[in-house]
A and B are shown apart, each in its own frame.
Chain A
Amino acid sequence: MGLLNDKVVLVTGGTSGIGRAAAVLFAEEGAKVAITGRRAEVGEQVVDEISKAGGEALFIRADATDIAGAGDVVRRTVEHFGRLDAAFNNAGTAMVGPLTELDEKTWDVLVDGNLKSTFFYLQAEAAQMKRQKEGGSIVLNGSVFAELGIEGISIYSASKGGVTALARAVAVELGPDGIRVNSVNPTVIRTPLTESGITRNEDGTEYHPHGEKIPLGRLGEPEDVANATLFLLSDLSSYITGQTLMVDGGQSVN
């Protein structure tokens, strides 16, 4: 018995990093998983990995910033699996730079990639769940930096602050339909996006400039976020909505 038995779950940005770990874990927990991403080859690899482990998965090639494509992704998920019970809106992007050097292009890439796409996928998912009239659960991937000020990531932080505010606002709106909306807010997680910034300290521990002062003494792993998301998507969290779950080793309170 898995925590997501027979549930159909959509994971955006499911081809690498957090999204990939989440898709694999959800399938282990009994879910039928639809994953999106831009790279078909890698997407099919994830599907193969899940299938070989006895799970069910579908890859849908889609760029999360293609807003018109959100409805299509939901439609194809439902065509294939019959319904949609849960979603992890995980796709996102990161860029850094000091305030005075950031340009409008960077703003657009970050706010479109992290906030705009999250909103329009959320809209399409909620519409499907409302039609089914059986509730649902949606988790948005926020960031600890939505609440913690760190140099050089101002636009990224603002875009993720928007994501957590969105979860709170939409939770209130969708509560009467039994659709729960929460965010997970990770710190630096070891993924292809962050790997180049990770170096080794003299004592062998790992260092990332955005991952300092973490009381638990290590950077996060994709599985850490996948497990927190699994809890929020499952029925174990049936009374939790509009919340931000920090997955940060305690960084935000230090």
Chain B
Amino acid sequence: MEFRDRKALVTGGATGIGFATARLLVREGAEVVIAGRSEEAGAKAVAVLGEHGGRARFLQADLRDPESVRRLVAEASDVDVLVNNAGAFPFAPTAEQGLDAFQQLFETNVRGPFFLTAALAQKMAARGGGSIVNVTTIAAQRGIPGTAAYGSTKAAVESLTRTWAVEFGSLGVRVNAVAPGHTRTRNVVGMIGEESFERIGAEVPLGRLAAPEEIAEAILFLASPRASYVTGTVLTVDGGAVALT
């Protein structure tokens, strides 16, 4: 129960990696707030998280909307752990990237987490410390065709991870990132297709795709006291894909 009496906020916590993370945090004793756009998905997730006495609630929020981010900060109140997991990932070849979609991507993946973190890190510091984990992607580190705009939003987040680690380090707030490789979530499988996704998994050194729980365990480690001397780092969880490319 490493997170007993800890309060955590997981954005995009109703599905995929975010949900797996919320689930582990609840299991380890944390009180978890999950934020997301869909009330319906949120209610469903909270019902599962609440089984066996888990403490979880849902807050409707859209990171693209600065007013919504302000409201989330106020409603989530004091948290010890922030997992910046929510993100949009429409893929497109560079020549076909639409201007509006580009704008939206940076609003959701960079501007939203930026101002959410700015507000919550202050509150953590005032309470004596905390831990922030940003979820990025291996597309931020390697050239993967079709992920130009998406990968660059996450590269921005990895840069923020380093800057925030130095800015907030002396205040007791640690900031790290987890860069997942190919992870089996419904959204990604739906987008890429089961068959070609399996084929991608077979090509990484460990020869398979990640389960969302495997990404979540890395997020939990970085958020936990076990990583109390780790800050500013990007932990890549990719079955060796980046080592190979």
**Contacts from A to B (Cβ < 8 Å):** 168-169, 171-172, 174-176, 178, 180, 214-217, 220-221, 224-225, 227-228, 230-231, 236-243, 245-250, 252-254
Contact = CB atoms under 8 A, between A and B. Distances in A.
B218 A237 contact: yes
16 contacts: A169-B243, A172-B244, A175-B240, A178-B206, A224-B229, A228-B229, A231-B227, A236-B218, A237-B218, A239-B210, A242-B242, A242-B243, A243-B235, A243-B243, A246-B230, A254-B232
Nearest to B24: A236
B217 A237 contact: yes
A239 B237 contact: yes
Interface of B: 162, 165-166, 169-170, 174, 181, 204-207, 210-211, 214-215, 217-218, 220-221, 226-233, 235-240, 242-244
A236 B217 contact: yes
Given A239-B215, A246-B233, 6 more contacts: A175-B240, A215-B165, A215-B231, A238-B214, A242-B205, A254-B165
B240 A172 contact: yes
Contacts of B226: 227-228, 230-231
Nearest to A216: B169
Contact of A175 (B162, B169, B206, B230): B206
Nearest to B207: A176
A225 B228 CA distance: 10
Contacts of A214: 169
B227 A241 contact: no
A252 B243 contact: no
A124 B232 CA distance: 34
A250 B239 contact: no
Nearest to A173: B205
Contacts of A172: 205, 240, 243-244
A249 B231 contact: yes
B25 to A, nearest CB: 14
Contacts of A249: 169, 229, 231
B205 A176 contact: yes
Contacts of A175: 204-207, 239-240
Nearest to A221: B229
Contact of A215 (B232, B236, B239): B232
Nearest to A185: B233
B240 A254 contact: no
Contacts of A180: 206, 240
- Nearest 4 CB-CB pairings of A with B: A175-B205, A215-B169, A242-B243, A224-B229
B166 A240 contact: no
Most chain B CB within a 10 A radius of its CB, from A172, A178, A238, A250: A250
A184 to B, nearest CB: 10
Contacts of A217: 169-170
B227 A227 contact: yes
Nearest to B221: A231
A238 B214 CA distance: 7
A246 B229 CA distance: 9
Contacts of A215: 165-166, 169-170, 231-232
Contacts of B228: 224, 227
Given A176-B207, A253-B165, A241 B240 contact: yes
Most chain A CB within a 10 A radius of its CB, from B181, B206, B214: B206
Contacts of A250: 165-166, 169, 174, 231-232
Contacts of A230: 226
Contacts of B227: 227-228, 231
Contacts of B242: 242-243
Contact of B238 (A168, A216, A225, A239): A239
Contact of B230 (A169, A239, A243, A247): A247
Contacts of A174: 205
B21 to A, nearest CB: 13
Contact of A239 (B169, B174, B239, B243): B239
Contacts of B240: 171-172, 175, 180, 241-242
Contacts of B237: 237, 239-240
B217 to A, nearest CB: 4
Contacts of B162: 253
Nearest to A169: B243
